[in-house]
Structure 1
């Protein structure tokens, strides 16, 4: 019997090629999108679960409450924290400390000329790093590779980069963090899995920090709080975090640290999505993408069910004959489930092939890398199998229940009337399809407008033609000379210096507010006196003299800082007190300008002025800003800058970033969302049009004689097109009315994540609705015009 059903299903698929193509194509598109998003979501939720005892391993950070109720989180602890806590509670069975240099690391193979590179994926770690975490070592003993000072384990990729095909173990690398030392390579590690929140190309022994003058102080602290080490604890039981919290609070009190604080523990598998301290933003997609995937699959399933039930009049007599010969409802349902299974399996196969081809593009859009091993892991394959089973069950459910419920007498006499094909249900399906499409179109337009606002809103800085060049401590006392030579290059209008590149960070200082006992957190940028004019920042209260800006202990504040620090409207000459210091004198006030992302509120800010002759820039590093004149040949200027740079620092590669590029880079997550959302919206419109095209074709087929009679009686092409289109376009109008408020609500919620945001304008709804009506009319009119132009004699002659 099953074979018989399968043969009938295959014959129906071959006989009705157009409907089969629409059904298969729609299901395949929906399943392809679901597969892609399923891969992404499953990968994001699988992070760090490959580690042994992952659920018993917790990362710790401290949360401090400052004056005014401000809460600040620090993801790093002191070197002393790990061993002190383990000795104080039996709940902790082990700990791990990692330290990442704040600046890029320069690495050289002394045996190879010109083999010097700047690396960023560098860690210092405790000796049992490769036993605490489940990272594979290709060469070396996990128990000893990081035991000695100046030992380093490198990844396979770095082994090839620095040593080619030779065995790197036992060889040396010259590594410059704050100081340059010769390290011995003691092991080679396999690449960290793509679903690891801990990544590395180099892992050096934490004992190395003790022999470096610049980092020796990091390992001498005997206080629990503060420090520069990511710290992980392994507990006997996952529920022991309360005991761990109490132990750490007790140890802090013994250190006489008076600020209110708590420690936050995040299980290793939750670290990727729940404890982000950097610029990671892909977690924004975790809720959005599954919803969109579900909607697209729903559209595809609606297409299938709608067309299957619509064509039920063709098979009504077949069902009636089967019922007369003894087939009960279960047998009829089984038949249609077999047909649905055939369609779903074929569509799934097409979708899997499309997913295989599109995965590199999709991951590139998300700027992600997923290991091949994960793509074929049992977990992912089971999820894909579940998707197939779900599709079979849902796609076959409605047709099976509806078609198996027909009365045999009515079907054989052809008296099924308009209830055949569930006309009302198909109308609901069509409305739902276009409601989803219009809703996503509205959402896409709002996202696009928000991104346009980010790009073009006034930020208080002139970002055009400003180059930022990172400066290392290799410049030493020669930085001022380098700065003068850059300023003298043809095409360079102004130069300035700051501690950090714009939009790449700032310092956080503790200042005294109106109440001398109240500590206020104040973001601070350390700059020279040329910073304000070079970036085009406007003065609110200018300094009494430009010479004042070149004196020590001077600070310029923005307007927001006046209220926060309790300063008068004209604060020039006032002091901003810092704990343990003499304070800084306010030299002027600048207008508020955006020095971070527009996602967040603009903050109070202090610009601490370093004298123009200070040698500190070359000693600790910083960033040179150079404004280039308009209509200047940029490649020529950049080439001259590179040559000048290499005269002062021959070990660090010359790099630069344009200020407007750095600003735009803050919105990469939103850019990727807009790009992929546009593709998803296009697919929903395509699926809705496929369904509408199929229903229009079927409707015209059912009304062929009616259209022929109308033409014989003098009906025009326009009247026939109107006749066919009217009911469908009414459904599209209903879908616009349904979609608009829902999309408005969702976008209002999405916009709440942005401190600087647009107001949703009425024209967005009009544009999306108008586009939906035009697309639907074109889809319908193609078949309607064709039917109106056909010879009516042929239509009337057809039985």
Structure 2
């Protein structure tokens, strides 16, 4: 161990309080950047490994309706065969269709078959798929692997899952049963080692009936299409495809005032387009850039905190610095030694950040992207951390080392003018403190307003009563008695004295959208409205206490030709009043006439990001449209556990093979704001970190001030100053700095939070008292952070303070 290293260790240990604060501050900054880098690197790594990524496109459907342009990832089934037959020059045309099976069974000799339920990532593809995606074949013949029906190619992870302790070569030829159909394994490919939008794990041929389908009217989220082409081919492809769709269904869509066409989306953009994600995972670029900003600011705050705490110690090291200069040590050598100290503290901060990062990933698993741990990013992380620690050492260490070299040997004993680099009449350290608290205050205001908005959304009157309602989805698997009539269970539950009402049907507020068109002929022409539909039974309105404004209550007879509208739909169709609309007929789906039975009070169908919309409600007895049980419990909460137990017993009578899963409806509504909750948690965490780092910086400045004003404090105590008076003397300047920061932060936070609130159709208003109250909170936190050092200085013995050195 070199002498220089020993001296560095000794200095750090001697000032272990400041060393600990520095290590903690840098560890927090490094941890934040480490986590942000992992997330951002993972998201931006999607599809980068494809050798022909610049020539791969997804064909998407575009539509223009009600003055809005939309994009949809699904395409009509006939599109892929049409492109293959009319554009033989296009090298690769690959439809990718999702497949869903209730069970995947692995036959076993003399044992019970191994069964996997609802396996995901099963795709129907053409053999050309493996020319599009860079899989490495581990077993099987690529040219013949999907040549016949009922063949399947597995990725290595699925092959190992289904056939453990079996070589890939031996797996080829084995059978896998999908529901009731046997498939033969004809190949095994290695899993992709980089994140990819092509997330399939099992591949089987496209069924003949789908390849020969001629229905151009419908597009399905399960049917996607990818092509590999050169730029000059795009124009001719889109021209012919759009002409075909116009010829086939253009006139039909024109009747509904809809225009449709096709476009191509580059593979590089696919992962960041949530509108074409089709249920697959997609990243939100705004959140990623927000994360980068938060990581940058936290690292910057950590550097500022280090600079302030380090410069606070320079007066205490003045003698050491003066002696070293007197002995002839050169400036570059002192700079190098100080950078060594900084580097060592950064390395200790890096070591401390390891458990901090692990703790974050354990406590906030839902914050990390799914499957991020399936891909190794060790090399990228190591390079990033090396660059980060080097950059931190330079940024955090150069300014304090500059101040050290400015120490005047003659003035060392008096500690005069040490470390006072100024910009005009304001010390740079005070500017850094203001900057820290500006950022901290913006986050504090953001946290407060986000919390208020979340509370507002949870407490807002939605137009229906969601309290004491539990919901249960119908079983949908044949193995779970899905064919049992749900009205039988409803009848059984209706006899329970602690259940107020039971209804079957859609939830009043959900993310589901079953849309259709309603139209009516008027004197001025045809009025057509596209609106969501909900299918319910007559008890639905009682369960949720939805108010009728006109017309009568529903009956089972309304399943034939009746429809209920909310006020928004009534207005959109042009009826002047609720009473006028009741009894009128509207056209629905191929001009089927429906009679308006009643007008309902508007209620929210989507989350509060969306405004109130027109709605149609139809009475139904069809199991496939109703989908869920809605059960209104007693107002007496003490009866709920026993009631739910009885509901479970009744459930097991009718659905013995289906798991009993229920949710309180207000919890389901809360889950609709999962993305907002994640953002709130991210901001809350960032706020806590920025406040901690800012307060550490204040502690450093107060320590410096108390050291420099030791004699003044001693004289004031001798002359009768009280401890509170001295504390105020030391703290007031920093409270002023915090006040300046609050004044600067308020307009920034006001603008930023108003932009964030624009995402909500129903939102709170940012008011002056919110800014004032959060400012007072920040001032109190700042006072608490400086009070310890201030009180410590005020209680110092004046005899020791005034003793001449």
TM-score normalised to the size of structure 2?
Answer: 0.87
In structure 2, the residue matched to 1:80 is 78
Q: Distance in 1 between matches of 2:201 and 2:666?
A: 30
Listed one character per residue, the Cα deviations across residues 205-245 of structure 1 (whole Å, up to 9, x for unaligned) are 322xx4xxxxx478512538734543233333367544443
SS for the counterpart of 1:260 is strand
Deviation at 1:359, TM superposition (A): 3.0
Distance 1:181 1:492, change over 3 A: farther
Does the CA-based 8 Å contact 1:525-1:608 persist in structure 2? yes
Q: Which runs of 5+ in 1 are unaligned?
A: 211-215
1:687-702 equivalence runs, <5 A? 687-702=693-708
In structure 2, the residue matched to 1:361 is 363
Listed one character per residue, the Cα deviations across residues 433-477 of structure 1 (whole Å, up to 9, x for unaligned) are 122112111101111111111111111122222323224385447
In structure 2, the residue matched to 1:58 is 57
Q: Distance in 1 between matches of 2:451 and 2:194?
A: 31
The reply on whether 1:794 has 2:793 as its aligned counterpart is no
Q: Distance in 2 between matches of 1:757 and 1:9?
A: 55
Pairing partner for 1:96 from 75, 94, 103: 94
The reply on whether 1:456 has 2:459 as its aligned counterpart is yes
SS for the counterpart of 1:764 is helix
Deviation at 1:736, TM superposition (A): 1.1
Q: Distance in 2 between matches of 1:695 and 1:330?
A: 27
Moved more, 130-139 or 527-536: 130-139
Listed one character per residue, the Cα deviations across residues 674-722 of structure 1 (whole Å, up to 9, x for unaligned) are 2232222111111111111122122212222221122122221121111
Does the CA-based 8 Å contact 1:98-1:123 persist in structure 2? no
Q: Distance in 2 between matches of 1:45 and 1:461?
A: 43
Q: Distance in 1 between matches of 2:507 and 2:191?
A: 31
The reply on whether 1:447 has 2:450 as its aligned counterpart is yes
Deviation at 1:255, TM superposition (A): 2.6
Distance 1:533 1:152, change over 3 A: farther
Distance 1:621 1:541, change over 3 A: closer
Deviation at 1:651, TM superposition (A): 5.5
In structure 2, the residue matched to 1:436 is 439
Does the CA-based 8 Å contact 2:126-2:205 persist in structure 1? yes
The reply on whether 1:223 has 2:216 as its aligned counterpart is yes
Does the CA-based 8 Å contact 2:97-2:124 persist in structure 1? yes
Does the CA-based 8 Å contact 2:610-2:760 persist in structure 1? yes
Give the alignment's Cα RMSD to 1 decimal.
Answer: 3.5
In structure 1, the residue matched to 2:242 is 249
1:430-579 equivalence runs, <5 A? 430-464=433-467, 465-472=469-476, 474=478, 475-476=482-483, 478-489=485-496, 491-498=498-505, 503-512=510-519, 516=525, 519-543=528-552, 546-547=554-555, 550-570=558-578, 571-579=581-589
Does the CA-based 8 Å contact 2:172-2:187 persist in structure 1? yes
The reply on whether 1:622 has 2:627 as its aligned counterpart is yes
Deviation at 1:724, TM superposition (A): 0.9
Moved more, 156-165 or 564-573: 156-165
Moved more, 690-699 or 417-426: 417-426
Q: Distance in 2 between matches of 1:126 and 1:699?
A: 72
Q: Distance in 1 between matches of 2:144 and 2:453?
A: 53
Deviation at 1:489, TM superposition (A): 4.4
SS for the counterpart of 1:598 is coil
1:30-429 equivalence runs, <5 A? 30-66=29-65, 68-89=66-87, 92-100=90-98, 105-108=102-105, 118-119=117-118, 121-128=120-127, 129-135=129-135, 140-153=140-153, 170=173, 172-176=175-179, 180-186=180-186, 195-200=195-200, 202-207=202-207, 210=208, 216=209, 219-221=212-214, 223=216, 226-227=219-220, 229-237=222-230, 241-255=234-248, 257-258=250-251, 259-276=258-275, 277=277, 283=284, 285-314=287-316, 333-366=335-368, 368-371=370-373, 373-376=375-378, 378-404=379-405, 406=406, 417=417, 420-422=420-422, 424-429=427-432
Moved more, 307-316 or 488-497: 307-316
Deviation at 1:156, TM superposition (A): 6.4
Pairing partner for 2:767 from 761, 768, 772: 761
Deviation at 1:746, TM superposition (A): 0.8
In structure 2, the residue matched to 1:213 is none
Moved more, 575-584 or 409-418: 409-418
Q: Distance in 2 between matches of 1:228 and 1:217?
A: 14
Moved more, 85-94 or 680-689: 85-94
Listed one character per residue, the Cα deviations across residues 169-224 of structure 1 (whole Å, up to 9, x for unaligned) are 65555544xxx5444455566666683444456544322xx4xxxxx478512538
Distance 1:281 1:162, change over 3 A: closer
Pairing partner for 2:618 from 608, 614, 638: 608
Q: Which runs of 5+ in 2 are unaligned?
A: 252-257
SS for the counterpart of 1:715 is coil
SS for the counterpart of 2:272 is helix
Deviation at 1:725, TM superposition (A): 1.0
Does the CA-based 8 Å contact 2:516-2:589 persist in structure 1? no
Q: Distance in 2 between matches of 1:715 and 1:502?
A: 65
TM-score normalised to the size of structure 1?
Answer: 0.87
Distance 1:384 1:278, change over 3 A: farther
Does the CA-based 8 Å contact 1:365-1:672 persist in structure 2? yes
Listed one character per residue, the Cα deviations across residues 303-348 of structure 1 (whole Å, up to 9, x for unaligned) are 1222333444455676677778887766665554444333333323
Deviation at 1:88, TM superposition (A): 3.1
